[in-house]
Amino acid sequence: MFPFLRLEPAGYRIVSLLLFFAAGVAIFGFFQKILQERVAAGIALVFFSIHSVAAFVTYDLAFFHEILYTLFYVMAATAYGRYVLTGHVKWYVASAGLFILTLLTKE
C-alpha cells in the first residue's frame, strides 16, 4: 500500500476501517444465515465490534492480518454453509479458496 498512500496515516486508517466494516458485514450475514433472525445477528455484530481485539485491529497497520483472517474465515464458513445447503461444487471450491487465503493471512 505504500506506493499509493506513502506516509499518510489517514489512508491506512481508512483502509483499516473499511476492512473492519467488511468483516462486520460478513459476520452479520453469517449469523443471519445461521440463526435466521436479524436481531440475533445484530447482537453478534455488536459483540464483535466492541470486543477489545477490535480496538487493536482498527488502531494499527500491524494488525491487518487479524481482520483479514476474520474476514476470510467467516466468508469461507459462509460459502461452505451454502455448499451444504445447495450441493453446488462452486461453493465448495470458494470455501476451500477462502480457507487457503485465511491460512495465508495468519502470521
- Give this prediction's pTM: 0.84
Under DSSP, the state recorded for 7 is T
- Geometric angle at alpha carbon 87, from 81 and 88, rounded to 5°: 100
Say if residues 57 and 12 touch (Cβ distance below 8 Å): no
Q: What is the average pLDDT score of the chain?
A: 88
pLDDT tens per residue, range 49-72: 887 666 666 666 777 888 889 899
pLDDT at 12: 82
**Angle between helices 52-59 and 38-50 in degrees, nearest 10:** 60
pLDDT at 8: 81
pLDDT at 52: 66
The one-letter amino acid at 40:
A
- Of the pLDDT bands very low, low, confident and very high (cuts 50, 70, 90), residue 15 is confident
Determine the Cα–Cα distance for residues 87 and 95; give it in Å rounded to an integer: 13
If DSSP codes are grouped into helix, strand and coil, which group holds residue 53? helix
